[in-house]
């Protein structure tokens, strides 16, 4: 609770000056924010599809269990906070991560205004081990049936977000495109997103989602990492349930 309170305070502080996992596309955060009192449960799994020559085997499957809740009772300014438990296959010493996101939906500032989100995620509990401390700003605009485009920027820990040579690569662009495939079904959704870093977080991801019920969604996707020599692609399955 102290960590959540701290991150919430940071987001509010930076939000007033225009500053794991939050509501996302496939890999990167989205401008979507959980509504007031809505509790969101997510289960994400990432399965390596190629062996890593440096290991002589496939890397461990990563599983993430998360809870996110909307905490502001306003339509034009929304805030979510969340907590994640992550199973890395080999290490369980520091599995907890925290996140928060402050946002405003499209059209809330003025007619035709984009959605805007300011957030923080991957706030781990062990200094220089799991505190990736990624903060970001995003804007998104929907163009009717053509879909939605999101653009933003992130920065994080220069001690943990490193390229293959061990040099800091802790900042970069965030970009995504998503749309409801209404010509097939209003329950079907497609997205592609990109995170611009050669660290372990940099990837091009794409996938499809199916809304199995009003409060249940299933995403199947694929992640291709920018540093393909060090990080092999993953297939991802994500289950989302709202309460």
* Residue 30 belongs to domain spanning: 2-242
Q: Phi first, then psi: give them for residue 12, nearest 5 degrees.
A: -65, -40
Separation CA 162–CA 239 (nearest Å): 30
Average pLDDT over residues 74-78: 95
Angle CA 148–242–41, to nearest 5? 100
User: Residue 213 in contact with residue 240, Cβ under 8 Å?
Assistant: no
Banded pLDDT at 134 (limits 50, 70, 90): very high
pLDDT at 1: 45
Report the domain count for the chain.
Answer: 1
pLDDT at 163: 93
Higher-scoring residue by pLDDT: 93, 160: 160
Q: What is the CATH number of the domain that holds 197?
A: 2.40.160.40
Q: Per-residue pLDDT for 58 more than 90?
A: no
Banded pLDDT at 13 (limits 50, 70, 90): very low
List the alpha helices (DSSP H) in 34-158: none
76, 116, 142, 159 from 211: Cα distances, Å: 25, 25, 20, 39
pLDDT at 55: 61
Q: Per-residue pLDDT for 131 more than 70?
A: yes
Most confident residue range from 7-16, 20-29, 169-178: 169-178
Average pLDDT over residues 11-22: 40
- From the list 155, 131, 135, the residue with the least C-alpha distance to 15 is 135
């Amino acid at each position: 609770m102290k960590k959540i309170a701290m991150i919430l305070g940071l987001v509010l502080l930076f939000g007033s000056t225009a500053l794991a996992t939050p509501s996302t596309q496939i890999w990167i955060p989205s401008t979507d924010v959980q509504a007031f009192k809505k509790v969101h449960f997510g289960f994400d799994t990432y399965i390596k599809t190629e062996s890593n020559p440096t290991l002589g085997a496939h890397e461990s499957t990563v599983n993430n269990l998360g809870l996110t809740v909307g905490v502001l009772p306003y339509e034009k300014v929304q805030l979510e906070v969340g907590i994640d438990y992550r199973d890395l296959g080999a290490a369980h010493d520091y599995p907890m991560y925290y996140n928060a996101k402050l946002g405003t939906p499209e059209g809330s500032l003025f007619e035709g205004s984009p959605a805007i989100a300011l957030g923080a995620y991957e706030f781990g509990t062990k200094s220089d081990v799991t505190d990736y401390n990624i903060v970001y700003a995003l804007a998104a605009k929907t163009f009717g049936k053509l879909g939605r485009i999101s653009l933003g920027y992130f920065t994080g820990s220069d001690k943990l977000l490193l390229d293959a040579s061990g040099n800091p690569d802790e900042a970069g662009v965030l970009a995504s495109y998503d749309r409801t495939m209404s010509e097939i079904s209003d329950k079907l959704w497609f997205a592609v997103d990109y995170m611009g870093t050669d660290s372990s977080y940099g990837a091009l991801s794409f996938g499809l989602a199916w809304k199995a019920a009003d409060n249940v969604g299933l995403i199947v996707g694929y992640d291709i990492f920018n540093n393909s020599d060090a990080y092999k692609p993953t297939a991802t399955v994500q289950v989302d349930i709202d309460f």
